[in-house]
Structure 1
Amino acid sequence: MQPVISFRNFSFRYKSQTRPTVKNVNLNIMPGEKIWIAGPSGSGKSTLAHCINGLIPFSYSGEITGELLLNGQEVSGRSIFERSRSVGTILQNPDAQFVGQTVGEDVAFQMENEEVAHGEMRTRVYSSLDLVGMLQYEEQGPHDLSGGQKQSVSLAGVLSTQADILLFDEPLANLDPASGTRAMGLIDEIHKTSGKTVILIEHRVEDVLGQPIDRIVIMSEGEIVAIGTPEELLRGGVLPNYGLRQPLYLNALGYAGIKLEHLSNLSTPEAVTAEKEVSQDYKQQIESWISFVDQNREQDKSNILLDIRDVSFSYSSSKNAKNAVKEVSFSIGAGERVALLGSNGAGKSTLSGLITGLFKPRSGEISWRGENIADWSIRRRGEEIGYVMQNPNHMITQHMIRDEVALGLQARGIVDQEKERRVNEALQICGLYPYRNWPVSALSFGQKKRLSIASILVLEPKLMILDEPTAGQDYRHYTEFMDFISGLSDQGMSFLFITHDMHLALEYADRAAVMANGEIIAADTVANVLSDRTITEQARLRETSLSRFAKAWGISSPAQFVQAFINMEQRSKMLNMGEGEASHE
């Protein structure tokens, strides 16, 4: 059978660079395969995708050597429009793809360019929207939809073109866990029913592996370094060698001393099985491991920094208006890290606006070190509380990186020598010091995220509110940055993580509060919250793979299994930090 995509000794060098970004690539992708291209940021996977869909060389020029064949034909002589008939692309940010005023118009856009007959066009639009469950939104504006709905419309637009290859570039980046699970299920259903070739580029390992994958292609420093089935690469522990996260339940089994060589069906926690002769021994070994779990530390009530009591808020002044936040109560202590979990629209960002003073509560009280801050201005609150938005483009105002970080200090009249020191320190901390004299436009989305954090960090707040801090970050940058956050927390800075990233909550939060429909529906240890299926389903989160594994294996206390993992992760991080400090001495 002829490959649908074939790279032969392929390399590409951007015009502005001295070295190739992808090099020596040899890869055949067969018709109907489902491929996951994985690797850390800068590994070359997105560049490889741009070569497939034609953005290289038509949008990004450079030097190509070797061959790239689509359906057996060399692509060098084909226009980007011709390539789009074979390759449909769904981008990380669906807003960047929308061109129509309504959902229906947007799905029909490429067919209009191809002069498809009106009757056939309408049939294909309806069919595509129905397939992704979005037919009822045909007359609605695409920008008014939720993140998951936008991704579905983008997918419908590609399906309507009848392209044989579907290329997904970070499709889950802006989706909450429930929407991400639905999106991956939808992609898999389309793959099964249409027989199309599917190529995924995505950081969220467990979400991708939740549905069948034929092969994983791992890239590092521009080259393909490993190719294999999920079972092969997971059993061999290959993913962590290249900056990718191993599924959490496999890490937990490693902590418990369980060897993966005697296990099978490793891709999903519910399916993992052990060889018959070791099955009972392994279960007893896990139970023995979790029996030594330390209790999670309780909050120090005597050192409360921020205290929220019975706060409600509505966007309308009408007496009968529905509250977006309803009688919310929780607190954050000095040096504490709290994860505020919930799906898109749960009320998390509204609550952060109440804390920072952007909104005024309809009722209730917010206190800072015991003082009611109802009369504090936004500027006064900003001296104590820093807020970093989810989208860095909504915060950045300066052309140059150094100027962006220095802006807040300049507004406060900080002298030049002190300003220089603090700017350099914040850039070092956020991994941006080598780019300090670059224009902001040269940064990736993940780097812009770190820049927006640096611009607040430089002001030295006591509490930092981070809205989806890990969005757009690969595992290496996520770990480096969150380990730094842990260090600041140990020094007394407090953090509120507004997130639907379960991994962040498990690995870095002391406690978790869960919001749904404007209310706090749970506030407890992270292990207890994320092991409770009732809570996670109500909040459109996803029960952690750790507790799903524990329940599938009949472990007596799934929450304790999760807590054992958390404790081991924290000990491991402390040990690594200690070794790092020792190596610097």
Structure 2
Amino acid sequence: MSNVVEFKDFTFKYINQLEPTLKNINLEIKKGEKVLIAGPSGSGKSTLGSCLNGIVPFSKEGGFKGTLTVKNIEPYESSIFEISNLVGTVLQDQDGQFIGLSVGEDVSFIDENNLIPQSEMIKNTEKALKEVGMENFINHSPQELSGGQKQSVSLAGIMRSPAEILLFDEPLANLDPYSGKHAMKLICDIQKKTGKTIIVIEHRIEDVLEQEFDRVIILSKGEVVANETPEELFRKDIFRQYGLREPLYIEALKYSGVNLETDSIYPISKIGTNENIKKVKTWCDSIELKEKRFKDNILSVQNLSFAYDESKSILKDVNFSVNRGEILALLGNNGAGKSTLCKVITGIEKESSGDIIFLGKSIIKNSIKRRGEKIGFVMQNPNHMITQETLLEEVQFGLKIRGVKDFTEKAEKALEICGLHEFRHWPVTSLSYGQKKRLTIAAILALEPEVLILDEPTAGQDYKRYKEFMNFIKEIANKGVGIILITHDMHLALEYANRAIVLCNGTIIANNSPSIILGEKELMEKSNLKETSLSQMAEIMGLDPEMLMNSFINFENQGGIR
């Protein structure tokens, strides 16, 4: 196969930075390959993608050495229009991608530019939206959609691109697990049908590699540090070494002493040998299982319902509670009502009926301000929260208006916790999407709430930041703060949540430990949740999924290899 992308001794430095973001990149991508580019935050992987699709240098200026060719064209010597016909892109921040006033207008944009007749254009748009399950939203404004729905529309749009290379920058960041699985299958089906080259930049390695990829390229500090098949990399500790998360089933195989050098380990369907099963079962039997119990109720939601109008009920008789020191995962597919539920709790939306009890007293008549003094809410999209120019000013803002005297000290501490202290005087506009998410979390943490609601807190974060942040959340919970995590990340729910509730069509259909919920296949399918690779591993090996998941979590909590 011929090369469609070639980097030769390529170095790139942004115009306002001292050090290069990419250093001596030598890389080839062949026609028709499926390649995953991974790396911790700041590794340069998004910049690499920006060099491929012309965002660098046409939107972000900088200097470079060496050469880069895309289908024998040097992007920086061409035009952004010409490159867009070679490389089609789905951006991580969907709000920066939409240009149409409606979903249908946005998806049909490429056909419109190519002067496709209107009748054919409408058929193409309807077909693309049907492929991603968004045909009923064709007349909706993109701004009315959830994060996952926006991502699905972006996928529909890229399907209309004539480009032979399709670049996806964190395509799973705002998708629920089931939708993410569907998206990855759709991306790979496009490749099978068209022979196009697929380049995926993504943190969620397990979800991407559930589909068979040809190669994984790992970047660290602007350099390529690994470029091999997934199976070759799984046999090593290369992912952990560079702050990335390998699939849970690979970790479980390593924990149980399976010989990765000799056994087939990718794809997951190949792991069910008798010797492997024996070793995993012996390991599970050796783990002491412990369960943490909570007593003191801090927040209680009672018979809560909400509707935008009489014909559109979003929440129906929702009942659950949160205890002091408890981490509760709120699970469900896109559109299940998770974010709406938390908006009602915080007073952003007004309930239709029901009650919200905080420390034994009803708060449904309390203002947003009064609720906000005790209940912190970090929204999914950081752009909906940020109001100040610099990072430090953003975190100081809430403290200042509350009259906190040592606001600078508290703000700097929160920024340090969230890994942003060194950037405290930077303008917010210079941050990546993931860094903006950490900034909004820092701004709420500085206010020291008694209940903390986090909407997709780890989306877009590399594994190192994910672990650091979630370990901090555990510390906060240990001090008696009740935590509610709205998350699509089944790994997070399994590893960190003490309990999980599942919301489906506005109703709670499960309230139990994460290991029980994630082990119930029918429940997962009903609620459009995706089983983890540990569940798949248990099924392949004929093991009890709850037992395997509990053994895995308890092993890690007891200081297992990390």
**Is the contact made by 1:299 and 1:333 (CA closer than 8 Å) also made in structure 2?**
no
**Is the contact made by 1:2 and 1:71 (CA closer than 8 Å) also made in structure 2?**
no
Describe the shift of the 1:308–1:138 C-alpha distance in structure 2 as closer, same or farther (beyond 3 A).
closer
- 2:322 aligned residue: 332
Task: Give the Cα–Cα distance (whole angstroms) in 1 for the partners of residues 536 and 153 of structure 2.
Answer: 31
Question: What per-residue deviation string (whole Å, max 9, x for no partner) do you get for residues 125-160 of structure 1?
Answer: 566556656666655544445545543443343333
Describe the shift of the 1:136–1:328 C-alpha distance in structure 2 as closer, same or farther (beyond 3 A).
closer
Q: Which amino acid aligns with 1:384?
A: K
- Deviation at 1:118? 6.1
- 1:582 aligned residue: none
Describe the shift of the 1:392–1:261 C-alpha distance in structure 2 as closer, same or farther (beyond 3 A).
same
- Deviation at 1:455? 1.3
Q: Which amino acid aligns with 1:288?
A: T
Alignment of 1:571 with 2:555, yes or no, is no
- 2:367 aligned residue: 377
Describe the shift of the 1:282–1:466 C-alpha distance in structure 2 as closer, same or farther (beyond 3 A).
same
- 2:173 aligned residue: 173
- Deviation at 1:113? 3.7
Q: Which amino acid aligns with 2:397?
A: L
CA RMSD of aligned residues (A): 2.4
Alignment of 1:289 with 2:280, yes or no, is no
Task: Give the Cα–Cα distance (whole angstroms) in 2 for the partners of residues 141 and 464 of structure 1.
Answer: 31
**Is the contact made by 1:107 and 1:153 (CA closer than 8 Å) also made in structure 2?**
yes
Matches within 5 A, 1:131-150: 140-145=140-145, 147-150=147-150
Task: Give the Cα–Cα distance (whole angstroms) in 2 for the partners of residues 440 and 73 of structure 1.
Answer: 34
- Deviation at 1:179? 0.9
Task: Give the Cα–Cα distance (whole angstroms) in 1 for the partners of residues 147 and 424 of structure 2.
Answer: 33
Alignment of 1:251 with 2:251, yes or no, is yes
Matches within 5 A, 1:475-554: 475-554=463-542
- 1:151 aligned residue: 151
Task: Give the Cα–Cα distance (whole angstroms) in 2 for the partners of residues 404 and 329 of structure 1.
Answer: 35
Alignment of 1:313 with 2:306, yes or no, is yes
Describe the shift of the 1:544–1:138 C-alpha distance in structure 2 as closer, same or farther (beyond 3 A).
same
Question: What per-residue deviation string (whole Å, max 9, x for no partner) do you get for residues 217-265 of structure 1?
Answer: 1111111111111111112232211111010111122222222223214
Task: Give the Cα–Cα distance (whole angstroms) in 1 for the partners of residues 411 and 130 of structure 2.
Answer: 52
Alignment of 1:68 with 2:68, yes or no, is yes
- 2:270 aligned residue: 272
Matches within 5 A, 1:425-444: 425-444=413-432
Q: Which amino acid aligns with 1:461?
A: P
Task: Give the Cα–Cα distance (whole angstroms) in 1 for the partners of residues 321 and 137 of structure 2.
Answer: 40
- 1:454 aligned residue: 442
Describe the shift of the 1:256–1:156 C-alpha distance in structure 2 as closer, same or farther (beyond 3 A).
same
Q: Which 5+ residue runs of structure 1 have no aligned equivalent? A: 577-585
Task: Give the Cα–Cα distance (whole angstroms) in 1 for the partners of residues 396 and 471 of structure 2.
Answer: 24
TM-score, structure 1 as length reference: 0.90
- 1:196 aligned residue: 196
Task: Tell me the percent identity.
Answer: 50
SS at match of 2:525: helix
Task: Give the Cα–Cα distance (whole angstroms) in 2 for the partners of residues 11 and 174 of structure 1.
Answer: 31
Question: What per-residue deviation string (whole Å, max 9, x for no partner) do you get for residues 353-375 of structure 1?
Answer: 23223344444332222233334
Deviates more, 1:284-293 or 1:7-16: 284-293
**Is the contact made by 2:322 and 2:328 (CA closer than 8 Å) also made in structure 1?**
yes
Task: Give the Cα–Cα distance (whole angstroms) in 1 for the partners of residues 143 and 99 of structure 2.
Answer: 10
- 1:29 aligned residue: 29
TM-score, structure 2 as length reference: 0.94
Task: Give the Cα–Cα distance (whole angstroms) in 2 for the partners of residues 339 and 188 of structure 1.
Answer: 31
- 2:338 aligned residue: 348
- Deviation at 1:172? 1.0
SS at match of 2:68: strand
**Is the contact made by 1:338 and 1:509 (CA closer than 8 Å) also made in structure 2?**
yes
- 1:583 aligned residue: none
SS at match of 1:297: coil
- Deviation at 1:114? 4.6
Deviates more, 1:399-408 or 1:186-195: 399-408
Q: Which amino acid aligns with 1:203?
A: H
**Is the contact made by 2:294 and 2:326 (CA closer than 8 Å) also made in structure 1?**
no
Task: Give the Cα–Cα distance (whole angstroms) in 1 for the partners of residues 297 and 552 of structure 2.
Answer: 28
**Is the contact made by 1:296 and 1:525 (CA closer than 8 Å) also made in structure 2?**
no
Task: Give the Cα–Cα distance (whole angstroms) in 1 for the partners of residues 469 and 131 of structure 2.
Answer: 40
**Is the contact made by 1:338 and 1:513 (CA closer than 8 Å) also made in structure 2?**
yes
Larger Cα-atom Rg? 1
- Deviation at 1:383? 2.2
Deviates more, 1:350-359 or 1:161-170: 350-359
- 1:365 aligned residue: 355
- 1:580 aligned residue: none
Task: Give the Cα–Cα distance (whole angstroms) in 2 for the partners of residues 281 and 554 of structure 1.
Answer: 13
Matches within 5 A, 1:186-265: 186-265=186-265
Question: What per-residue deviation string (whole Å, max 9, x for no partner) do you get for residues 422-449 of structure 1?
Answer: 2222122122211222222222222211
Task: Give the Cα–Cα distance (whole angstroms) in 2 for the partners of residues 57 and 469 of structure 1.
Answer: 31
Task: Give the Cα–Cα distance (whole angstroms) in 1 for the partners of residues 129 and 377 of structure 2.
Answer: 38
Describe the shift of the 1:368–1:116 C-alpha distance in structure 2 as closer, same or farther (beyond 3 A).
closer
Count of paired positions: 562
Task: Give the Cα–Cα distance (whole angstroms) in 2 for the partners of residues 240 and 11 of structure 1.
Answer: 26
- 2:52 aligned residue: 52
Alignment of 1:405 with 2:395, yes or no, is yes
Task: Give the Cα–Cα distance (whole angstroms) in 1 for the partners of residues 35 and 21 of structure 2.
Answer: 21
Describe the shift of the 1:282–1:456 C-alpha distance in structure 2 as closer, same or farther (beyond 3 A).
same
Describe the shift of the 1:347–1:558 C-alpha distance in structure 2 as closer, same or farther (beyond 3 A).
same
Describe the shift of the 1:309–1:453 C-alpha distance in structure 2 as closer, same or farther (beyond 3 A).
same
Q: Which amino acid aligns with 1:54?
A: G
Task: Give the Cα–Cα distance (whole angstroms) in 2 for the partners of residues 465 and 248 of structure 1.
Answer: 26
Deviates more, 1:16-25 or 1:139-148: 139-148
- Deviation at 1:161? 3.4
- Deviation at 1:212? 1.4
Q: Which amino acid aligns with 2:62?
A: G
Task: Give the Cα–Cα distance (whole angstroms) in 2 for the partners of residues 332 and 128 of structure 1.
Answer: 42
Describe the shift of the 1:385–1:130 C-alpha distance in structure 2 as closer, same or farther (beyond 3 A).
closer
**Is the contact made by 1:293 and 1:560 (CA closer than 8 Å) also made in structure 2?**
no
Deviates more, 1:354-363 or 1:304-313: 354-363
Q: Which amino acid aligns with 1:452?
A: T
- Deviation at 1:123? 6.8
Describe the shift of the 1:196–1:125 C-alpha distance in structure 2 as closer, same or farther (beyond 3 A).
same
Task: Give the Cα–Cα distance (whole angstroms) in 2 for the partners of residues 458 and 146 of structure 1.
Answer: 27
Task: Give the Cα–Cα distance (whole angstroms) in 2 for the partners of residues 314 and 143 of structure 1.
Answer: 19
